[in-house]
């Protein structure tokens, strides 16, 4: 099992609240986890944290980085989970 798939299964087993790819662009102080699935054409998935419309992720050998979600069209394919609530 791919690591990203294992993380998705853990989120589901823990009953984390589901969200939507559209919510990833919100600036609402909610931390979300987006899991890109493995497919026949993509043998490795990816997992990113997203906060206020920006990813928090390790990619391309750069270490931890942030990118605006608008630049990442593959996020539309992700399963999205709520990790923490925003501030009231």
pLDDT in 10s for each residue of the chain, 88 residues: 678 888 989 999 999 999 999 999 999 999 999 998 877 677 777 889 999 999 998 876 777 889 899 988 888 889 999 998 776 5
3-state DSSP call for residue 76? helix
- Cα torsion 39, 13, 35, 76: sign: positive
Asked if 73 and 24 touch (Cβ cutoff 8 Å), the reply is no
Quote the CA–CA distance of 54 and 11 in Å, as a whole number: 21
Q: What is the pLDDT of residue 54?
A: 95
Asked if 18 and 79 touch (Cβ cutoff 8 Å), the reply is yes
Quote the CA–CA distance of 59 and 81 in Å, as a whole number: 20
Q: What is the pLDDT of residue 40?
A: 66
Does the reported pTM lie above 0.85?
no
């Amino acid at each position: 099992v791919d690591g990203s798939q294992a993380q998705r299964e853990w989120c589901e087993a823990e009953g984390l609240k589901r969200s939507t790819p559209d919510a990833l662009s919100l600036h609402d102080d909610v931390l979300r986890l987006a899991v890109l699935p493995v497919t026949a054409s993509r043998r490795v998935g990816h997992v990113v944290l997203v906060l206020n419309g920006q990813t928090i992720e390790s990619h391309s050998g750069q270490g931890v980085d942030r990118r605006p979600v608008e630049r990442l069209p593959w996020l539309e394919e992700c399963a999205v989970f709520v990790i923490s609530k925003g501030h009231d």
